[in-house]
Amino acid sequence: MAGPLAGIKVVEMNAIGPAPFAVMMLADMGAEVIRVDRLQSGFLNGDGSVIGRGRRSIGIDPRKPGATEVLLALIDAADVLVEGFRPGVMERLGLGPEICLQRNPRLVYGRMTGWGQTGSLAPVAGHDLNYIALTGALHAMGHTDREPTPPLHLVGDMGGGALFLVAGVLAALFEAQRSGKGQVVDAAISDGVALMSTMYYEFRQRGEWGGRGSNLFDGGAPFYGCYTCADGQLISIGSIEPQFYRQLLELCEIDDPEFEKQWDRERWPSLRSKLETVFRGRTRDQWCQLLEGTDVCFAPVLDFDEAPNHPHLRARGTFINDAQGIYPGPAPRFSRTPAKPGERVSNGAQTLEVLRELGLDDAAVATLRAAGAIA
């Protein structure tokens, strides 16, 4: 069965950052994607990368004579365009939204940046860490006695960036089906992370959020965090609700009356210290035998080598294991039109194929090659 986005045509201007990940998700869901690659070999997210799966690739230099016309012809037939450059780059290439939407009024023009298309920081460089720093989110992460801990680039690039771009593109596609009109989707990582922080801003407004490392979800609560076991391995506990917390105490055979004061924040450091002693008393495997599969809200802290082998993830097929290695499969799951990962592709591998589909003959292809527009 074809994925839920079968029939949707996407043109991707390849870039680094979250845009390629967002397009990977669209491709997994069945969209037909043509990726516009730089001519240089080895560009990130191209040349067989997992994130670059499920596309066809055309290698072209948009700055060379004739290239813009080719790209506009591609965009004319597309439902979605995704680009991840700084504001103004696409306009300078003659591929800005004003031109593209005039030619293709139904086009959804997805723009992925860190700071957004407007604002004082829009034209300057940045990375995931900077974008989440500005929103207040980074300041809340980590321990109180040291600098904030960078949370990989899952919070910014992938969470606040790629997933918001996917949501915006899908919403705009849905609206375009009714109105017949496309629009620009301005997806900024800083906007997305700020929105994901809504609950924490509400906590602050209610006076329920203190300094870093002293709160419910940041490691301050003894019943919500990670602990080291006798073998040096780690486990995670998330026994927030009273019934789950009671089960934790029962299964761990904890009868210390101080633990009855679950929500007394002044006792949290003492309770954490006592739980550290408890969990150091057994190995991670022993804790798994006791707690995994219960309502304690428990899971071992697995590394990237261990995670694909966990029975639950194996049963769901969360990871794919093929000749090229082990990597995550598509998500979410669809009951009738399942998503599936496409093949990996090398930069420019389908250049001639795509040009032929656009109607270019041998002479036109030779002209582009002579101009340096294609390899």
Positions annotated as catalytic residues are 127, 157
User: Rounded to an integer, what is the distance from CA 235 to the centroid of its chain?
Assistant: 25
Length of the chain in terms of residues written: 375
Q: Hey, what are 141's tokens?
A: 């992460």
Distance between CA atoms of 220 and 36, rounded to whole angstroms?
47
Report the DSSP beta bridge partners of residue 57: 35
Q: Hey, what are 330's tokens?
A: 């598509």
